[in-house]
Structure 1
Amino acid sequence: MMQQPELIIKNTTELTPSELLTIMQERTKVFVVEQNCAYQEIDDADFNAKHVYLKSENHLLAYTRIIADNDDNYVRFGRVLVPIAYRKNSYGRQIVSATIAEINRLYPDKMIKIGAQNYLRQFYESFGFKAVSDVYLEDNIPHIDMILDGGH
């Protein structure tokens, strides 16, 4: 039986090489291989991202990244994943809750904006997100823009 998951929040420059490689490996597995989607998964946003993840022992259980743009009233998060072996354990709900809490702590006056995969719309609505766009294709996957008004 695995130990209680540990929540870790680090800037890219604080990650060890092993942590960074584990995160990039899991992201590529889910967003490129599993979703059969060829695109630049590791991008410029990763240089200044804040990485939020749950781990137990040496296993990554769930992950998101926070991106704070300086040009608007929003903070974004994305790349939300739970590796196949750990799905159905509520780790997705835990990581999104922790990510929202961290954004509200760091940026209490900003709204949170996400580009959610459309099939997860109800999941994000359960956190209070509201759809603000029509469904659109991003890398051939239906997405919808959603906003959470700063946890207010």
Structure 2
Amino acid sequence: MTLSATMTARWAAFDELSLQELYDLLRLRQQVFILEQQSFYADIDGKDQETLHYLIQNRDTGALLGSIRLLTDADKAMSRIGRVVIAEEARGTGLGRLLMQAGIDKALDLLPGCEVHVSAQAYLEKFYGSLGFKTVSDVYIEDGIPHIDMIRS
């Protein structure tokens, strides 16, 4: 999938996010992770300030359709994609694949040859596998939801 004409996308460091973008990002993550998935955890975890955020928005309305955050660690030659979130109205459109591919590409651009890690909800193992991720852990419970660790070498 490629970005459609009705979408805009951009990478931004935390301090490059507008107040509206930050509000929309936190609201979408709250809606999906805490309310829909009923996973009561501290989404505001102090890591957003040290990550890059990839935002996909509706070009006409400005509504946030999806986002990921990317943490990089040059000392360990690894990156971590997290907080993969898609608005309900954008699910099933291929946006998840677009978000993840952008994250993989950015990680490899910043740290060529690095491993890319994800803590994936277990039911998405096949999806992440289709992007080249390999499962490296047993299923474990994180914030009340079954997860697995996966790495793309």
Measure the CA separation in 2 of the matches of 1:35 and 1:7: 26
For residue 62 of structure 1, report the CA deviation from its aligned partner: 1.3
Describe the SS at the equivalent of 1:134.
coil
Q: What does the per-residue CA deviation read over 1:80-139, in whole Å, with 9 as the maximum and x for residues that have no partner?
A: 111111111111111111111111111113100110000000000000000000010001
2:20 to 10, 18, 21: 18
Measure the CA separation in 2 of the matches of 1:136 and 1:64: 22
1:78 is aligned to 2:72: no
Structure 1 segments of 4+ aligned residues over 2 angstroms from their partners: 69-73
Q: CA RMSD in A?
A: 1.4
1:89 is aligned to 2:130: no
Q: Could you state the TM-score of these two structures normalised by the residue count of structure 1?
A: 0.92
For residue 73 of structure 1, report the CA deviation from its aligned partner: 3.1
Q: What does the per-residue CA deviation read over 1:12-45, in whole Å, with 9 as the maximum and x for residues that have no partner?
A: 0111111111101101111111110111011111
Stretch moving more, 50-59 or 16-25: 50-59
What amino acid maps onto 1:11 in structure 2? A
What amino acid maps onto 1:124 in structure 2? Y
Count of matched residue positions in the alignment of Structure 1 and Structure 2: 148
Contact 1:3 1:56 in 2 (8 A): no
Contact 1:113 1:148 in 2 (8 A): yes
2:149 to 112, 136, 145: 145
Indicate the residue corresponding to 1:118 in structure 2.
122
For residue 10 of structure 1, report the CA deviation from its aligned partner: 0.3
Indicate the residue corresponding to 1:41 in structure 2.
43
Structure 2 matches for 1:98-137, cutoff 5 A? 98-137=102-141
Structure 1 residue runs of 5 or longer lacking an equivalent are: none
Measure the CA separation in 1 of the matches of 2:57 and 2:146: 29
2:69 to 46, 55, 65: 65
Q: Could you state the TM-score of these two structures normalised by the residue count of structure 2?
A: 0.92
Stretch moving more, 51-60 or 28-37: 51-60
Measure the CA separation in 2 of the matches of 1:19 and 1:53: 9
What amino acid maps onto 2:143 in structure 1? D
